[in-house]
Structure 1
């Protein structure tokens, strides 16, 4: 399962522009209107930073209709343009509805959106691409999934058409037939549609429709090189074009087989999977059924069965073998889309977003959040993501529902979705990553074990607190959580004593709660047995968020009344020092021994 194409978003900067958007959205079902806060009222969503919001929409693949000057859109998106073949449509619509101009993605829906909007507004769309103007089509930009084999010949071919020559169609392509191209059965120019590998020329454009399905089976641990070579050799031997492959397919028990994913990546196609029951439905049509395969996986053929199940057509290349893999090819009667083929491998991204500030969120975290179809997490953490939630399904929960959150994330990913499980700080430090792997281990569910799971680090509260205060983690340190919900207090107390005896700087997580206020004083008493009363203590609250406070006190003065669950407590070692600042604040650091080394270096 893949995410549906995002609905267009009207980006409105004025109240008069809102009126135009409300009228135009009637021809674009599901579209949203986003308005600039404090200037536009009554929109589906507000934003405060126009350029940032436009970039977030664009990077999420959302079609944008900016009811504003074209220059605003150009300035916003210029820095994030990369591949014109993957960019979403971007249009500029005049605030008075007098003009609509496709700026980007003309061949990916922008021209069509412009025509629909223009029809609703009673105006002519300002379409500038020559092919669209003359023939209603761009020959160098076929529909999604289709490939032009010889794009370098598109320009002279189009020039000949514009000069008055006619063209003939060899093959089936409704998107070409419905254009305004000057077709003639005896034309010298040819548009060839085929799944076979053919060379084109300045007088023949060759299009490959996505009609081939490659079924693959392999032994566990087969090499990516072997599987990729078998697939390519199978296609080449049959004279078939790699560009006509719609998907690489296999049985679901191979969903986590690296070689299969590597081969698909080499071909630049998606991977799709079927369960054994679906593949067994194809048993009567298999060219090489195998009882051995049936006894192993529950169907009589993986490669041939997957090729047939995916194509719903004919098996045009029966099973071919290498030492550890098999391959077969199916042919569909009509072009295929990934959504129509089997099931995709789900992705679970476990994302630490840091304390909450955008500046403390890593680029990798942003990238994983952007590509996700679903976001799962505590409501507040999802709210902190701002525009990164645009166009995604949100699954927000209250505090205390940690296991439910993880189960929901795993189940969504098992459906084939791209899920981001969101934690504050670092997801692997007193957070959700551990619970994900614990549930996978405990439940032993094959569908969870086959998921594509990744963990990206975030800035932890202890790092954030240390950076705000100076350098208290300059020497050995540890972390201790005082929450006894999952760890018995005697175990926690034993660890406190060990840390005290080891003279570690200690970052204290979950120091107090409304029902639990006695542990922090108990910890303080233990530590006072091993380090001075004036040991620096940092109280860091709301790190990276509005209302952040950093307070430096001493171990003797540490009071649980000054601490809540939004506070990280960092207790220095016997070596930790506090330095008064000129502005009234305090720097805290823990020396590592450079002073002693400096004296040694000066020794005679």
Structure 2
């Protein structure tokens, strides 16, 4: 999947243009330079390295900056123009749009599109675009060029005055300004058949073939791929004309099916057995055995026909290898893979950190950008700002944790790309555990077939430690003081063990409106095992505008001053405070024993290391 468009904002002077672009492309994310911009969806520190990372990932880049900045930053990673994503330079005022790279991979088209919608000027310099209003090596989605290496020679001959003959149907080609003539010496051919082009023949393959596959559980991917390749070759069909790889939904988590689709640059699509059974009258080789096992009379033929639509034709009946089958149907139109059947459902279980954009990982931002549906406590979605524009929100209140997770699992089971979101790290006192608990407990086949990915976030204890200095420099633990799910006797036992072990302890959920005694009890236990001057960090609303971080000695900790938005971190007996800036700034740290090691090294060698 192509990463979302990255709108690069280096100065606030380009803010209005960036927001206009994001309104035109809601899936795009604004990437802002730290210290120079505010409120970006993604914040970066170093322009060159960030741009290079985006370029390598294949993300289209809209740079609101001088062309030279993009050129100098990306020059070290330029390799092949056949694989580069669109890179467009846009002036701060949005009046000039310059496609720099990937002109025939979408940059020219996007530049024209932006210019038209923003009443700007697109500086297109490609010869075929300027003379014939078309980029012959950049066909639209659903049409693949078999011999791009011959485009240059073909265009040179066009510019030399030769005429073109169109063999087949294509609105994209016929509506251009190409010099068409039935007796032309150059040919543009549209066909699903395999072939070889040359300097006078450009061969385009419309993605009108659908391939249905079936296989035994655990079949090696290479067997399925080889069967498809051999079947296409035997029938003289081009692999570039394949628009869909499909199967029955019980195979939606089968690695071999996914590998076969990926081989053709596609994501696999799936149909229910009921949907495939409707294709029975059109099957060439219906099977009662398959019906008894799966619930339909044919998997590969049925899937191929279902993808090709009611006017599609089965052109290759079921072909077999040792453990796999495939069949091919042809549609009278381009197959839109995204609208065929359904995809394997994806559930991204994401921690977004304490709420500050700069503390959200690129992985989390990318998964949120790819999702169609977002499930979370409403406040967490509000923290994401414009980065979720155009996505479907499923808001839940506090205390509705199981509802949230069930909704996320069910939506993903429908074939959607769902992000289940929590602040902090979603695996620490959050939703990730409940996801796997419900899957394990209920054995729902729709849930069991999901593609699940867990993305970590910066947890409250990490954020608090960073603000305070280095209190987690040695062994530490976390303990939740909420007894809603864990009996107080168990929590008390854990506090005692951590106190005796001299761990730095981060207390999550220290108090609530109704629960006020636990932190008092924890303080009493800790004072039995560590001194009253042990530093305690009180961190509230981390990463947000109302953030506050303060230190008190353990003996002076007042549990009544703590609220439910606060994390309390108690140092070990070794933790201590220090000051910088001429005594103006306090820090807490926990030594790891380096001073003792240095002393021993000095004794042994007579020198300080």
Residue 413 of structure 1: how far off its partner (Å)? 2.1
Q: Deviations over 1:254-311 (max 9, x none)?
A: 1111111111112211210000011111112222221111111101111111111111
Give the equivalent residue in structure 1 for 2:289. 292
Is 1:129 the equivalent of 2:126? yes
Is 1:588 the equivalent of 2:589? yes
Give the equivalent residue in structure 1 for 2:313. 314
Give the equivalent residue in structure 1 for 2:490. 491
SS of the residue 1:315 aligns to: strand
Residue 364 of structure 1: how far off its partner (Å)? 1.9
Superposition map of 1:72-87 within 5 A: none
Structure 2 unmatched runs, 5+: none
When residues 325 and 122 of structure 1 are mapped into structure 2, their CA distance, relative to the original with a 3 A threshold, is: closer
Give the equivalent residue in structure 1 for 2:563. 564
Superposition map of 1:132-151 within 5 A: 132-151=129-148
| RMSD value, Cα | 4.3
Give the equivalent residue in structure 1 for 2:240. 243
Is 1:261 the equivalent of 2:262? no
Contact 1:497 1:527 (8 Å CA) reproduced: yes
TM-score, reference length from structure 1: 0.83
Contact 2:472 2:589 (8 Å CA) reproduced: no
Contact 1:91 1:110 (8 Å CA) reproduced: no
Superposition map of 1:390-401 within 5 A: 390-401=389-400
Residue 374 of structure 1: how far off its partner (Å)? 2.8
2:161 to 158, 161, 164: 164
Contact 2:41 2:357 (8 Å CA) reproduced: no
Name the CA distance, whole Å, in 2 between partners of 1:370 and 1:31.
7
Name the CA distance, whole Å, in 1 between partners of 2:262 and 2:137.
24
Superposition map of 1:111-122 within 5 A: none
SS of the residue 1:581 aligns to: strand
Name the CA distance, whole Å, in 2 between partners of 1:96 and 1:570.
49
When residues 316 and 598 of structure 1 are mapped into structure 2, their CA distance, relative to the original with a 3 A threshold, is: farther
Contact 1:73 1:92 (8 Å CA) reproduced: no
Contact 2:106 2:138 (8 Å CA) reproduced: no
Give the equivalent residue in structure 2 for 1:41. none
Residue 545 of structure 1: how far off its partner (Å)? 2.8
Superposition map of 1:464-479 within 5 A: 464-479=463-478
Give the equivalent residue in structure 1 for 2:228. 231
Is 1:541 the equivalent of 2:540? yes
Q: Deviations over 1:395-422 (max 9, x none)?
A: 3444333223323322332232222222
SS of the residue 1:400 aligns to: coil
When residues 198 and 126 of structure 1 are mapped into structure 2, their CA distance, relative to the original with a 3 A threshold, is: same
Contact 2:535 2:553 (8 Å CA) reproduced: yes
Give the equivalent residue in structure 1 for 2:171. 174
Superposition map of 1:156-555 within 5 A: 156-312=153-309, 313-555=312-554
Name the CA distance, whole Å, in 1 between partners of 2:101 and 2:587.
52
Is 1:577 the equivalent of 2:575? yes
Q: Deviations over 1:36-87 (max 9, x none)?
A: 9xxxxxxxxx98669979999x999999999x98769969997999988785
Q: Which moved more, 1:292-301 or 1:381-390?
A: 381-390
Q: Deviations over 1:488-514 (max 9, x none)?
A: 323322322333333332211000112
Q: Deviations over 1:77-117 (max 9, x none)?
A: 979999887857969699698x8777777667776787788
When residues 554 and 92 of structure 1 are mapped into structure 2, their CA distance, relative to the original with a 3 A threshold, is: closer
Contact 2:43 2:358 (8 Å CA) reproduced: no
SS of the residue 1:318 aligns to: strand
Q: Deviations over 1:294-335 (max 9, x none)?
A: 111101111111111111211222212222111111111111
Name the CA distance, whole Å, in 1 between partners of 2:479 and 2:92.
58
Contact 1:348 1:419 (8 Å CA) reproduced: yes
Name the CA distance, whole Å, in 1 between partners of 2:465 and 2:94.
53
Name the CA distance, whole Å, in 2 between partners of 1:94 and 1:554.
52
Residue 14 of structure 1: how far off its partner (Å)? 9.1
When residues 481 and 51 of structure 1 are mapped into structure 2, their CA distance, relative to the original with a 3 A threshold, is: closer
Residue 194 of structure 1: how far off its partner (Å)? 1.3
Name the CA distance, whole Å, in 2 between partners of 1:316 and 1:426.
51
TM-score, reference length from structure 2: 0.82
Q: Deviations over 1:577-599 (max 9, x none)?
A: 21331434142315458727965
Contact 1:468 1:550 (8 Å CA) reproduced: yes
Contact 1:91 1:103 (8 Å CA) reproduced: yes
Contact 2:27 2:390 (8 Å CA) reproduced: no
Structure 1 unmatched runs, 5+: 37-45
SS of the residue 2:555 aligns to: coil
When residues 180 and 85 of structure 1 are mapped into structure 2, their CA distance, relative to the original with a 3 A threshold, is: farther
SS of the residue 1:278 aligns to: helix
Name the CA distance, whole Å, in 2 between partners of 1:564 and 1:84.
57
Name the CA distance, whole Å, in 1 between partners of 2:175 and 2:509.
65
Superposition map of 1:99-114 within 5 A: none
SS of the residue 1:556 aligns to: helix
Name the CA distance, whole Å, in 2 between partners of 1:127 and 1:508.
59
When residues 127 and 51 of structure 1 are mapped into structure 2, their CA distance, relative to the original with a 3 A threshold, is: farther
Name the CA distance, whole Å, in 2 between partners of 1:371 and 1:254.
23
Contact 1:304 1:328 (8 Å CA) reproduced: yes
Give the equivalent residue in structure 2 for 1:39. none
SS of the residue 2:521 aligns to: helix
Name the CA distance, whole Å, in 2 between partners of 1:121 and 1:261.
40
Q: Deviations over 1:520-578 (max 9, x none)?
A: 001112222333333332222222333433322222222112322222111233x3221
Residue 424 of structure 1: how far off its partner (Å)? 1.5
Contact 2:40 2:357 (8 Å CA) reproduced: no
Residue 452 of structure 1: how far off its partner (Å)? 0.9
